[in-house]
Structure 1
């Protein structure tokens, strides 16, 4: 099944999986910064400040005064969107669009899930090395490096977020596919997820049992007012510890 220009097969899966494409362009979306600009190491113009704006926005919405909590949730939200779109395309189409950060525009002011617009659909193979290159290396490595450099957040926490986001995308895709009798899609997604978790950057992020995942780090959501531990957290209850615990 070839990629269609609108990636229409993703729409029934819901917001975390959908990618807007060139056909959905608006004057406002054309002016959005690309993710390549967003990941730039040193903040400069308004585009490069999109990441800082997003962190501040997430912090306000969560009512947290801890920057590293907002950073972590910002990172996990974007990671979830990238994994969801890539994994669903690979499972449904048998291929993925080129997710080069220069082709993806991002609305840092949008509500969750993160609003992404792919300016051109360039088909690539849907195998694990291609997906790893498209998401891990093209996005999550530069994003993590920028967040660590700017905010001092631990790289181990961010890679835990990446593993958690992949597991969550795989679990939702499996649930959707099996509910519709698409065992072919579920099987492809599960096999691809297993290969991705064998990658050196992900294999130590947690433990998988079927579609369940238990991470070895904490995303810090428990530090959000009214928050608690996530379903895949390394903690079974919110820890009573110093503000810097669970950051690695």
Structure 2
């Protein structure tokens, strides 16, 4: 199966689902494998450090771990959207090996990704978990924890929230376009993935939506509040470092 042409047709689903397949982009940025590794670059050239600083400046985040949380959730949303969209629409997913994915840390949101080789993989939950959870979110989380001391529970909560958000957007598109098959596949795959040991404790998925058990710290951004799936019903005020794990 040649999955490459189908990647372009994900664009109508929204920017988070877009994945460009380019053999080798001009002036190629770092691969995500390089971004997760340390030390791969001098600190002033490190793509992950650059991204966290960029997000922090855009949000006016009062501390780096808040920016690290937002940056991780944004990238998780991209990875989940691409795999979930391909699985539900085409019954196959691209191999998102971090060595094949190039990433521009200076881009806006959503994260700009290039896939340099399209290798179709099965669309079952185990394969998708291997690609996204083990291939990306585990090494990304390890890098962010070591650099910014972000709580492990917060990062996995972000991962669960990002998955639920991608599923919600895909479900809305499917219902609008009468693709009940796509909606059913997306819901089933999302439920299987949220039952994975790394995500099972991150929140509860119901017919009404997803409610996470941790906080991404967005409420601490100037002008920010609680997210729609936050464990808090209102922004905490009693402590500057509310529990996030």
Is the TM-score greater than 0.5? yes
Compared CA separation, residues 47 and 173, structure 1 to 2 (3 A)? farther
Pairwise CA distance, 1:219: 0.4
Q: Which runs of 5+ in 1 are unaligned?
A: none
Aligned residue among 210, 218, 222 for 2:219: 222
- Contact 1:34-1:103 at 8 Å conserved across structures: yes
Which portions of structure 1, spanning 4 or more consecutive aligned residues, are displaced by more than 4 angstroms?
none
- 1:17-66 CA-to-partner distances (Å, cap 9, x unmatched) read 0101116x5413xx200000000033534797100000000010001221
Work out whether 1:197 is the aligned partner of 2:213: no
Which residue of the partner structure matches residue 61 of structure 1? 58
Work out whether 1:8 is the aligned partner of 2:5: no
Q: Which runs of 5+ in 2 are unaligned?
A: none
Alignment of 1:34-113 (within 5 A): 34-42=31-39, 44-45=41-42, 49-113=46-110
Pairwise CA distance, 1:161: 0.1
Aligned residue among 230, 239, 246 for 2:236: 239
Pairwise CA distance, 1:227: 0.5
Which residue of the partner structure matches residue 188 of structure 1? 185
Aligned residue among 142, 145, 153 for 2:142: 145
Q: TM-score when scaled to structure 1?
A: 0.94
CA distance in 2: counterparts of 1:211 and 1:7, whole angstroms? 30
Pairwise CA distance, 1:192: 0.5
CA distance in 2: counterparts of 1:208 and 1:194, whole angstroms? 8
Q: TM-score when scaled to structure 2?
A: 0.96
Which residue of the partner structure matches residue 32 of structure 1? 29
Compared CA separation, residues 241 and 41, structure 1 to 2 (3 A)? farther
- Contact 2:69-2:216 at 8 Å conserved across structures: yes
Pairwise CA distance, 1:244: 1.9
